[in-house]
Amino acid sequence: MKIKQVKFNPGKKSSFIFSAFIVIFFTGLQTPALRCQTTPAKKINYDTNYIETFPQTLTTRLYSSIKYTHFNFINTQKNKTLFYNNNSNYILGVGVTYSLLTINIGLNFNFVNHDDDRYGPSEYLDLQTHIFSRKVSIDLYIQWYDGFFIVNPDQAVAGWDHPNRFPQRPDIKTYNFGYNIQYLFNSKKFSYPASYIHNEYQKKSAGTWVIGSNSFFMIVEGDSAINRPGSDPEDLFGSKAFHRTDMLNIGISGGYYYTLVIAKHIFLSLGLAIGPGMGFSWLDYDETGRSEKTGLTLGMNGLLRSSAGYNGRKIFVGISLLHQMVWNQLPVENIWEFYSTGNLRVNFVYRFKLKKPIKFLDPGIWEK
């Protein structure tokens, strides 16, 4: 798998939405090689019986991660699904956190990623920012993926008889621009940073209700029809063959997140926020070259966060998952598009107490 720069031309109807997300995104940045995260500069009260922070401590980490993007076309009447996935590869990296700043540097090593014959090649540019303050979390995305394979050929491709190889579509590309923001109601007892950037310690079990808003704009396009993978083109979508979908979803969400602490240091954190959205979708057809749009429809969105492992005052070992989901109805009767993206990571963390603080990153200087 290669990572390369992208020339993006979404088309006239997408240019305004694309520009808006560019402005939103560059308040922070995460690339496959570099990630910066911030926590609030101003001191915020928290319950020391539940949360312990580590001022003047350098948090170092080794990690492995998998970034991925999926999209499905679902026929609710026939109960059939066409499921595309990119060839997700492992990234190995190192990182540090001190006070306001987190930097992670990760690289793709070919010796652990050698399955292109089975799944096909994929290239990507995946820029993410995940900001965890005491009361608010913000997730920002700019993503481009090139090269997909069909996950369920036994259901979607008639006559497929290659058990060691999946149908590949190297021509299919996806673009995703979006944000998700959440407010935590019990921030005095519940810590996001303890599970995800490892500069705090959740001492006792605690949970919090969350409420938030989000917006995503997604494009899927191919050189030929993306809804006709097999010999029966009318099975899933009737006679309409399309080579591009554009999907806009603006929504709200609410849910609950909880961290269970066992024997002081073993933890399991899990939560889901889900809610309705306003959806709008376009299809570009192959045969006629025309476009069709839904108008305003009901959509859905969801965000799953989970983490588990060991967290002590010096050592953290754990696994975490962030999984963002969006559903929209397409301008074809009974057909929905489901888009999801996420990041699965394994972290090995050690914290060093510094003899002197790094003054320009010390939150205390902003209070003077």
41 pLDDT more than 50: no
- Residue with more model confidence, 44 or 226: 226
The structural domain count of the chain equals 1
Dihedral of alpha carbons 98, 92, 172, 300, sign: negative
Kindly report which listed range (113-117, 212-216, 250-254) carries the lowest average pLDDT score.
113-117
**Which residue matches tokens 């002590």?**
312
For the cut 70, the answer to whether the pLDDT of residue 242 exceeds it is: yes
pLDDT digits (tens, 9 = 90+) for 271-304: 999 999 998 998 887 666 677 777 888 899 999 9
Q: Is residue 3 part of a domain?
A: no
Residue 88 in tokens: 């997700």
- The pTM of the full predicted model, rounded to 2 decimals, is 0.80
Instruction: Give the residue-averaged pLDDT of 78-102.
Output: 85
Closest CA to 241 of 335, 325, 148, 155: 335
**Token reading at 183:** 């407010």
Give a yes or no: residue 7 inside a domain.
no
Q: Whose CA is closest to 300, among 333, 330, 274, 337?
A: 274
296 in helix, strand or coil?
coil
Structural domain including 36 reads 12-367
Burial zone of 89 (CB within 10 Å; 0-12 exposed, 13-18 middle, 19+ buried): buried
| Rounded average pLDDT over 154-158 | 77
Listed residue (86, 82, 66, 63) closest to 74, CA to CA: 82
Q: Examine residue 77 and state whether it is found in any structural domain, yes or no.
A: yes
Paired sense of beta strands 80-86 and 101-108, if any:
unpaired
Collect all residues with Cβ–Cβ distance below 8 Å to 242 and sequence separation of at least 6.
225, 226, 227, 283, 284, 285, 286
Asked, for residue 328, whether it belongs to a domain, the answer is yes
365 has a pLDDT exceeding 70: no
Closest by alpha carbon to 237, among 81, 85, 71?
Answer: 81
Token representation of residue 265 = 């240091």
Q: Terminus-to-terminus CA distance in the chain, angstroms?
A: 49
Q: Above 90 in pLDDT, residue 187?
A: yes
| Residue ranges with strand state E in 2-79 | 35-37, 51-53, 57-75
Residue 135: φ, ψ to 5°: -110, -15
**Residue 67 forms part of a structural domain:** yes
Domain contains 216: yes
Residue 4 in any domain: the answer is no
Confidence label for 364 from pLDDT (cuts 50, 70 and 90):
low
Q: When comparing pLDDT for 226 and 25, which is higher?
A: 226
Per-residue pLDDT band for 40 (boundaries 50, 70, 90) equals very low
* CA 32 – CA 5 distance, rounded (Å): 12
Regarding predicted confidence, which is higher, 118 or 269?
A: 269
